[in-house]
Amino acid sequence: MIERIDIDRLTLRYGDVTALDGLSLSLEGGKIYGLLGRNGSGKTSLLSVIAAFRKPTSGDVRINGQPVFENQAITSQIAFIRESGDTVEDTEKVESAMRYAAYLRPNWDAEYAARLLERFEVPTKARIGSLSRGKRSALGIVLGLAARAPLTIFDETYLGMDAPSRYAFYDELLNDYMAHPRTFIISTHLIEEVSRLFENVVIIDRGRLVVHDDVETLLNRGTAVTGPADVVDRFVNGYTVIGTRQLGRTKSAMVYGHLDPEQRAEARAAGLDLEPLALQDLFVHLTEPRGDQS
């Protein structure tokens, strides 16, 4: 069981590039986490350090209080699936990848793996190198789910998968998580598609933590206030406005921060329309290049 993951002032540099910049974060076990960030924000670096694939330049990651790096007792509990599911040599066959996994993974469920391979139509006799991008991703998903590892990390494992296969993945993930509760961290660009699967969301930018909260709380913090421009301007005065749009005399301002029921009633009385912001919108505004912010 993973009780908690504590990431303390984590810094990772490649030459003069700083991928992680003193990032601290604590995660409770037993939840599905979404890790969001723009390209180059440090998602893969962070996941690689959590999975002990990389040694940090400074700071550390502890799971249940134990440092993860070069700690076999901990790393055997982590399944880290990278974007193309590249876990085994290309010249090997899918069926041998299954055999290795059975050997390496203490909780491996061979029957479940076989069922998943069938569902995602991955040919077991094929060489891994000959699989299409989508089938390779599906193979990664099979290896990740059937490992039943206490901590399972999917780093954008959906490349080349079509929508029906991605939805099959979401269904399998959710059902297997409910049947065998454990910790998942899923990094993705397809925010709207998967956001409902997450219990918590972590957003990072430039190697730093931007926000970590449960999805509902985060969604409650973003509101689009729409109405006549002058009324909107008067209402949002004093709030953190993270973006505006205007169409003729109608204006929509995106407010970041909690609105209490009184403030909501006040807005409605003034004839304003309030709508929660979608996670995608919040994400875009929280990670916008700073030069573009007003």
Partner 1 sequence: MFDDRSPIYRQIAEQIKQAILTGDLQEEEQVMSTNQYAAFYRINPATAAKAFQELVDEGLLYKRRGIGMFVSPGARERLRSQRRERFFADVVEPMVAEARAIGIPLREVIQWLEQREDEEER
State the residues that interact with partner 1 by CB under 8 A: 31-32, 167, 170-171, 174-175, 177-178, 196-199, 214-216, 219-220, 275-276, 278
In angstroms, what is the minimal distance from the CB of 167 to partner 1?
8
Give the residue with the Cβ less far from partner 1, 89 or 275.
275
In angstroms, what is the minimal distance from the CB of 216 to partner 1?
6
User: Are the C-beta atoms of 274 and 259 separated by less than 8 Å?
Assistant: yes
Give the residue with the Cβ less far from partner 1, 10 or 151.
151
- Report helix angle 133-146 to 163-179, nearest 10: 0
Other beta carbons within 10 angstroms of residue 46's beta carbon come to 30
User: Are the C-beta atoms of 173 and 197 separated by less than 8 Å?
Assistant: yes
In angstroms, what is the minimal distance from the CB of 242 to partner 1?
18
Give the residue with the Cβ less far from partner 1, 208 or 264.
264
Give the residue with the Cβ less far from partner 1, 87 or 252.
252
Other beta carbons within 10 angstroms of residue 145's beta carbon come to 25
Give the C-alpha separation, 217 to 68, whole Å: 30
Give the residue with the Cβ less far from partner 1, 10 or 32.
32
Q: What is the DSSP letter of 61?
A: E
Give the residue with the Cβ less far from partner 1, 129 or 181.
181
In angstroms, what is the minimal distance from the CB of 275 to partner 1?
5
Is residue 203 classed as helix, strand or coil in its secondary structure?
strand
In angstroms, what is the minimal distance from the CB of 176 to partner 1?
11
Give me 124's structure tokens.
């077991």
Give 7-42 as a DSSP string: EEEEEEEETTEEEEEEEEEEEESSSEEEEE--TTSS
Give me 199's structure tokens.
């219990």
Give the residue with the Cβ less far from partner 1, 33 or 108.
33
In angstroms, what is the minimal distance from the CB of 168 to partner 1?
11
In angstroms, what is the minimal distance from the CB of 23 to partner 1?
24
Other beta carbons within 10 angstroms of residue 204's beta carbon come to 25
Give 217-250 as a DSSP string: HHHHTEEEEEEEHHHHHHHHTTSEEEEEEEETTE
Per the DSSP assignment, residues forming a β-bridge with 27 are: 5
Q: What is the DSSP letter of 128?
A: G
